Amino acid sequence: MKMRSEKGFTGIDISVSVIIAFIFVTIIAVLIYRVNSTSKEITLRSDATYIAINEIEQIKNNGFDEYGTRSEADGTSVVTSNEEVAGNEGFYKTITVIDYTDLPGNGDKVKNIVKKATVKISYMFQAKEQSVEISTILSKES
C-alpha cells in the first residue's frame, strides 16, 4: 500500500484561495468607488448650495424695486433661465420672481407688495441633472 504525502497545497486549495481573494478585492474596490462617488456628490451639492446662497444674497441686496416692475401675464418673472454661473463651470442658474398674490391661497392680498424669489442651481452628476433650490421673500419698503 502506497501512502501519499500530505505536504503542500492541492489545486482545489489554491482555487478556493484565489476565489476568496478575488471576492475580497472586489468588495473593497466597490466600497472605495462608492466612498469617492458620494464624496464628489457632496462636494457638488455644497458648491451648488453656496452659489444659491450667494445669488439669494445678491437678490436681497438689489431689493424689491429691481424685481417689482417685472411681471409676465401670469405674474411670474423669469430673471434668468439656465444661465451658466460665472466662475463655476457646469453650474446653471434659474431665477424666478413671483408676486405673493399669485401663490395659491393668497389671491385676496394686495398685489405688488411682497414677492417670492426662487434660485435654482442645476448641475450634472452621474449623467443625471441634480439641483438645489432656495427661496426668499422680498417686500416693498414703506
pLDDT per residue rounded down to tens, the chain (142 residues): 566 666 666 788 889 999 999 999 999 999 999 999 999 999 999 999 999 999 999 888 887 777 655 555 555 576 777 788 888 889 999 988 887 777 667 666 677 778 888 999 999 998 999 999 999 888 877 5
> What's residue 11's pLDDT?
82
> What's residue 39's pLDDT?
96
Identify the helix (H) or strand (E) that includes residue 126: none
Q: How many CB atoms sit inside 10 A of residue 58's CB?
A: 12
> What's residue 134's pLDDT?
94
Rounded Cα distance between 64 and 69, Å, is: 9
Nearest to 63 by CA among 119, 142, 138: 138
Rounded Cα distance between 41 and 125, Å, is: 7
For the sheet containing 128-139, what is the strand order? 76-84, 92-99, 114-125, 128-139
Q: Does residue 64 contact residue 140 with C-beta atoms inside 8 Å?
A: yes
> What's residue 26's pLDDT?
97
